[in-house]
Amino acid sequence: MKAARIHRHGGPEVLTYEDAPDPKLKANQVLVRVRACALNHLDLWVRAGIPGMEIAMPHILGSDIAGEVVATGEWNERVRAGQRVLLAPGLSCRQCERCVSGEDNRCPHYTLFGVGVPGGNAELVAAPEYAVIPIPDDLDFECAAAAPLVFLTAWHMLFTRAALQPGEDVLVLAASSGVGSAAIQLAKLFHCRVIATAGGERKLEMARELGADHVIDHYRQDVAAEVKKLTDRRGVDVVFEHVGAATWPRSVQSLASAGRLVTCGNTTGYDVKLDLRFLFSRQHSILGSYMGTLGELYKVLRFVFRKQVRPVIDKVYPLAEIRAAHERLEHKEQFGKVVVVP
């Protein structure tokens, strides 16, 4: 098969479109012909190398996968050849206490396609049967690939970790990112008031189109001051963070009394300051979030399948042009998801 692989860590130049052996199918696995694979920031980090994380080389990136089932291993019972499917990006042991309690994203063996196992930047991928989720006929493969990771992450952050309630005020950082565009739509679905930040008029307009009630240009405006203005000095109930060092102080300042800040990433740096005086006197909560459970993925996909929310597709590249796709994401040129098609 053709695949985009890395043989060492580095910049986009280490991505090589080449021939690779077809995956060998295990009895509990399904072979999927990849029809679309969406990129995530995770791809950039794994490609560059994450300190302390050992990746077997050569490696195939890509966590968000949609395609058609071409073969099933002998232990499969539910999935059949010919089905149009997406793959749950997260993989776990299915046997430990956390997994059987429905908290598979806290499994000690938790990993993702494109991280601990070969991903979807290839013509074929092998997946355990439990990760295979059939998709409706009217959902195209690009949308099916662009949905899982960001909608799952945003759902877990907003509803499981931050316990967002209908009608609350939410500040969504970086609306142009995949998770940001998912968070705006999910919060609106729950009748929340959404304030979104983005850089530049074009991205602000797109945030409005997704449903943001107010937008703030994070390059030209003081986010915390604007939030105070828009909320009559109260601040927001929930801040949806994933930007990190560059936005952290303003994000904390934007919180209302008893507000919750939930974060799933640190694209601009991880070393932030926390003033404990404000944390306790205003009774803030700082919450970490990582992916979401398989059960939550089924819940949020219901809204995707019914077209009540939609993944935002920025650009689709042929897999052979994977380097350009990485560069687009790395240079923050995108609004929504960058997708590759084998």
Q: Which stretch binds Zn ion (CB under 5 A): 30-38, 97-105, 200-208, 235-243?
A: 97-105
Q: Which is nearer to Zn ion, 9 or 106 (CB)?
A: 106
Burial of 271 (0-12, 13-18, 19+ CB in 10 A): exposed
Q: Which is nearer to Zn ion, 103 or 169 (CB)?
A: 103
98 to 157, contacts with Zn ion by CB under 5 A? 99, 107
Tell me, residue by residue from 66 to 95, as one string, x for binding to Zn ion by CB under 5 A and - for no binding. Answer: --------------------------xx--
Token pair 């008893």: residue: 258
Does 20 bind Zn ion (CB under 5 A)? Our answer is no
Q: Which is nearer to Zn ion, 107 or 146 (CB)?
A: 107
Residue nearest to Zn ion (CB): 107
What distance in Å separates the CA atoms of residue 271 and residue 78, rounded to the nearest whole number? 46
Which token pair is 83? 């089905």
Q: Which is nearer to Zn ion, 127 or 309 (CB)?
A: 127
Do the Cβ atoms of 283 and 258 come closer than 8 Å?
yes
Residue 17: CB minimum distance to Zn ion, A:
34
Q: Which is nearer to Zn ion, 53 or 93 (CB)?
A: 93
Residue 95: CB minimum distance to Zn ion, A:
6
Number of residues that bind Zn ion (CB under 5 A): 5
H or E element in which residue 322 lies = helix 322-330
H or E element in which residue 251 lies = helix 248-253
Q: What one-character DSSP code corresponds to residue 292?
A: -
Give the alpha-carbon dihedral of 170, 301, 206, 334, to 10 degrees: 110
Binding site for Zn ion (CB under 5 A): 92-93, 96, 99, 107
